[in-house]
Amino acid sequence: MRTCTIEPLTPAQLSATDLRAELAQAQRDGKPAEVYSITIWDATGTVRTPTSPQALYLPGEGRLGVDWGALATWASVTSLEASLELWLNNRDGWDDPS
């Protein structure tokens, strides 16, 4: 089972183009948004990724977008941590309505 740690980013540190566009829209609309870098660990405690996925969490909308070098996938979420665990370990359960 993989695990992850998250580190808050400033909006300027967000490099994922599609997440930046969503963040800009949320800021224009005055909606809260949180930006994170994700470090993925395997069961032995080894870092699994040379590049870190990035996430945009929109708590007011209950939405989470995760981008890992391609277009972001989105899900309806109730908690950031539980949703990231689902994204890591159960992609079939990840709600991506796009």
44 located within any domain: yes
How far apart, in whole angstroms, are the C-alpha atoms of residue 30 and residue 83? 24
26 located within any domain: yes
How far apart, in whole angstroms, are the C-alpha atoms of residue 46 and residue 28? 39
Number of domains into which the chain is organized: 1
Among 7-11, 42-46, 50-54, the range with the most confident prediction by mean pLDDT is: 7-11
7 located within any domain: yes
- pTM of the shown model: 0.86
10 located within any domain: yes
pLDDT digits (tens, 9 = 90+) for 47-93: 766 678 999 999 999 999 999 877 888 998 888 888 888 888 876 66
Closest CA to 23 of 57, 54, 53: 57
Burial of 61 (0-12, 13-18, 19+ CB in 10 A): middle
98 located within any domain: no
Q: Residue 42 is part of which domain span?
A: 3-93
85 located within any domain: yes
